[in-house]
Copies of this chain bind each other. A is one copy, B any other.
């Protein structure tokens, strides 16, 4: 792979991809950068710059061909058949995440989930049987899954992360409010709801003065 594409750009491309799919559903065939940009909440210049990295090029008069650009982005992302993932931590948040992803279009499918609470073991929640947390290594074979989500309490998160890494997982969505230490070949996206809320509250206070 040539150059490293920034996280921000990947996020936006993913967003554009979704919007383009929506447009396709509405049988729209062409779209201008500023139209798509408005939907995405970014500037047209930014969008064009992002589109550069996928190599697709539009027409000055017709704008972008919706289908072609969508295909180009998908091709850039190169995820063939839908990805699979595991989820550890079947609390309120874990179950919601599970429902969120396994409910809608099965782009990504959570194939196994885990919890340390014996009461939850073997219960089937949203098409997913719950296994004991300490059996991850036995149930999921190494290299089988590339993505994991952690929705356990903060105190248990690092241990879970270590196990996932040992399993060969290369990408982690971490909902636990702690910084995870992982090897450099593992990508961690931290989603800290309490922090986000704190931020919103701060700027909300700022705004009404």
Residues of A within 8 A of B (CB): 1, 7, 10-11, 14-15, 18, 39-41, 77-79, 83, 85, 92-93, 95-97, 99-101, 103-104, 107-108, 146-147, 168-173, 177, 179, 185-187, 189, 191-209
In the assembled complex, the CB of A68 is this many whole angstroms from the nearest CB of chain B, namely: 20
Is the contact region of chain A dominated by helix, strand, or loop, or is it mixed? helix
Chain B residues with CB under 8 Å of A93's CB are 96, 99-100
* B189 & A108 in contact (Cβ 8 Å cutoff): no
Chain B residues with CB under 8 Å of A78's CB are 205
Chain multiplicity (copies): 2
What is the bound-complex CA distance between A11 and B191, given in angstroms?
12
Q: Which partner residue on chain B sits nearest A108 by CB separation?
A: B197
Given contacts A96-B92, A96-B95, contact A186 B198 (CB under 8 A): no
Chain B residues with CB under 8 Å of A107's CB are 194, 198
* B1 & A201 in contact (Cβ 8 Å cutoff): no
* A173 & B196 in contact (Cβ 8 Å cutoff): yes
Contact of A173 among B100, B185, B197 (CB under 8 A): B197
